[in-house]
Structure 1
Amino acid sequence: MQIADKYNPQHSESKWYQYWLDNRYFHSEPDDRKPYTIVIPPPNVTGILHMGHMLNNTIQDVLVRRARMQGFNACWVPGTDHASIATEAKVVAKLREQGISKEEIGREKFLEHAWDWTHQYGGTILEQLKKLGCSCDWDRTRFTMEEKLSASVIKVFVDLYNKGLIYRGYRMINWDPEAKTNISDEEVIYKEQNGKLYFLKYKVEDSDEFVSIATTRPETIFGDTAVCIHPDDERYAHLRGKKVIVPIVGR
Structure 2
Amino acid sequence: MDIPSKYEPQIVEDHWYDYWMANNYFHSTPDSRKPYTIVIPPPNVTGILHMGHMLNTTIQDVLIRRARLLGLNACWVPGTDHASIATEAKVVAKLKEQGIDKKDISREEFLEHAWEWTHEYGGVILEQLKKLGCSCDWNRTKFTMDEDMSASVIKVFIELFNKGLIYRGYRMVNWDPQAKT
Distance 2:40 2:87 in 1: 19
Deviation at 1:26, TM superposition (A): 0.4
Number of positions where the alignment pairs a residue of Structure 1 with one of Structure 2: 181
Cα shift readout 1:143-164 (whole Å, capped 9, x = no counterpart): 1121111111111111111111
- What percentage of residue pairs aligned between the two structures are identical? 78
**Unaligned regions of 5+ residues in structure 1, if any?**
184-251
Aligned AA for 1:40? I
- Describe the shift of the 1:160–1:32 C-alpha distance in structure 2 as closer, same or farther (beyond 3 A): same
Distance 1:104 1:168 in 2: 25
Distance 2:100 2:169 in 1: 37
Q: State whether structure 2 residue 156 is matched by structure 1 residue 156.
A: yes
3-state secondary structure, aligned to 2:86: helix
3-state secondary structure, aligned to 1:24: coil
The Cα RMSD (Å) is: 2.0
- Describe the shift of the 1:10–1:155 C-alpha distance in structure 2 as closer, same or farther (beyond 3 A): same
Distance 1:83 1:170 in 2: 22
Distance 1:134 1:121 in 2: 19
Higher normalized helix content (fraction of residues): 2
**Unaligned regions of 5+ residues in structure 2, if any?**
none
Partner of 2:15: 15
- Describe the shift of the 1:64–1:135 C-alpha distance in structure 2 as closer, same or farther (beyond 3 A): same
Partner of 2:62: 62
> Larger relative contact order (C-alpha < 8 A, sep ≥ 6)?
2
TM-score between the two structures when normalised by the length of structure 2:
0.90
**Structure (1 or 2) with the larger CA radius of gyration:** 1
Determine if contact 1:82/1:145 at 8 Å carries over to the other structure: no
TM-score between the two structures when normalised by the length of structure 1:
0.66
- Describe the shift of the 1:140–1:116 C-alpha distance in structure 2 as closer, same or farther (beyond 3 A): same
Higher normalized strand content (fraction of residues): 1
